[in-house]
Amino acid sequence: MSDYNTMELMISVAARNLEDGASVAVGTGAPCAAAMLAQKAHSPNLVIIFEAGGIAPLLPTMPISVGDSRTFYKAVMASGMCEVMETLARGMVDYCFLGGAQIDMYGNINSTVIGDWEKPKVRFPGSGGANDFGSMAWKIMVITPQDSRRFVERVSFITTPGYLDGPGAREKAGLAVNTGPHKVITNMAVMGFDPESKRMRAESIHKGFSFDDVQENTGFELLKSPDLVETPEPTADELRLLREEVDPNRYIIGR
């Protein structure tokens, strides 16, 4: 396939990481589209969880907020934020999708401030539920543009912990073993994390880009997986589902 755009590629790649029977906490936008695509394409028993309380809905169309009534459509439970956070704390959420203004080599995410805390250059909305999700879900996934201003050597503020400053740091901070950043999906590549150093590494490069292109748009030394490959393109079925059932009005894939 070649008739697809970057957003369709990123959503398709993200969806492939959501296996049948898993649970995923999502917001709106591309993460929600990825969860919907996974549920329709290959993971019919995927449990989608929204921060506002919708648990395991069968989304009819794209919701516009986490509290949209569609996030409760045919759900197994219409709960609230407290119940969702308690579910995370019990270790019952496999994946969460997060975003932010900055991410560093250890997957720490900043959505709070750029610059000094007292006199920042820019102040962002802050955590919301991002710290809870990133601290207590088993695997963190991020969909974001590849940009050296976004991929920085050290975030200005850790809103959501990744691997903090390296191996063992999450555990020392009191977080569960074997949790943390899993995949970072951008317009150029898919990154994972080296199991020993916990540093970000390129795992696949999208068609039309090279590893050097990705490195030039990363503000730190990016490791390279020994099994680096070209990212598989979206299939005809994935594109059909995205365009006809997930986002027919192109709210997300039209960006």
Rounded average pLDDT over 56-75: 92
CA dihedral 14, 17, 23, 26 (to 10 degrees): -10
Q: Mean pLDDT lowest for which of 58-72, 103-117, 223-237?
A: 58-72
Report if residue 1 sits inside a domain.
no
pLDDT (tens digit per residue) in 208-248: 999 999 999 999 999 999 999 999 999 999 999 999 999 99
Look up the domain containing 17 and give its range. Answer: 6-246
Whether the per-residue pLDDT at 1 is higher than 80: the answer is no
User: Under a CB-based contact definition with an 8 Å cutoff, are residues 40 and 61 in contact?
Assistant: no
pLDDT recorded at residue 2:
61
Whichever domain contains 222, its CATH number is 3.40.1080.10
pLDDT above 90 for 94: yes
Percentage, residues of the chain above pLDDT 70: 99
Residue 130 lies in a domain: yes
Exposed, middle or buried: residue 207 (CB in 10 Å: 0-12, 13-18, 19+)? Answer: exposed
Total domains in the chain come to: 1
Evaluate whether residue 255 is within a structural domain. Answer: no
Q: Which pLDDT score, from 0 to 100, does residue 140 have?
A: 98
For the record, the structure tokens of 254 come out as: 């039209």
The sign one gets for the Cα dihedral 186, 187, 190, 196 is: negative
Question: What is the band of 193 on the pLDDT scale with cuts at 50, 70, 90?
Answer: very high
Q: Is the pLDDT of residue 25 over 70?
A: yes
Answer yes or no: is 252 within a domain: no
User: What angle is formed at CA 197 by the lines to CA 194 and CA 203, rounded to 5 degrees?
Assistant: 15
Locate 33 and state its tokens: 């589209």
Query: What residue type is 109 in one-letter code?
Result: I
137-162: average pLDDT = 97
Out of 8, 51, 203, 238, the active site residue is 51
With contact defined as beta carbons under 8 Å apart, do 144 and 119 qualify? no
In the residue annotation, 51 being an active-site residue is answered as yes
**Average pLDDT over all residues of the chain:** 95
Per-residue confidence at 117, pLDDT binned at 50, 70, 90? Answer: confident
Residue 142's pLDDT band (boundaries 50, 70, 90)?
very high
The residues, any chain, with a CB within 8 Å of residue 148's CB and separated by 6 or more, are 216, 217, 218, 219
CA-CA-CA-CA torsion for 52, 159, 155, 176, nearest 10 degrees?
A: -100
What does 162-209 look like in DSSP terms, one character per residue?
SSTTSTTHHHHTTPPTT-EEEEEE-SSEEEEE-TTT--EEEEEE-TT-
Report if residue 253 sits inside a domain: no
pLDDT tens digits, 28-51 = 899 999 999 999 999 999 999 999
Task: Give 118 or 230, the one with higher predicted confidence.
Answer: 230
Q: Which residue from 182, 36, 53 is spatially nearest to 109, judged by alpha carbons?
A: 182
pLDDT at 83 over 80: yes
If you search the block for the tokens 């610059």, which residue do you land on?
A: 115
The pLDDT of 43-71, averaged and rounded, is 93
The answer to whether residue 119 sits within a structural domain is: yes
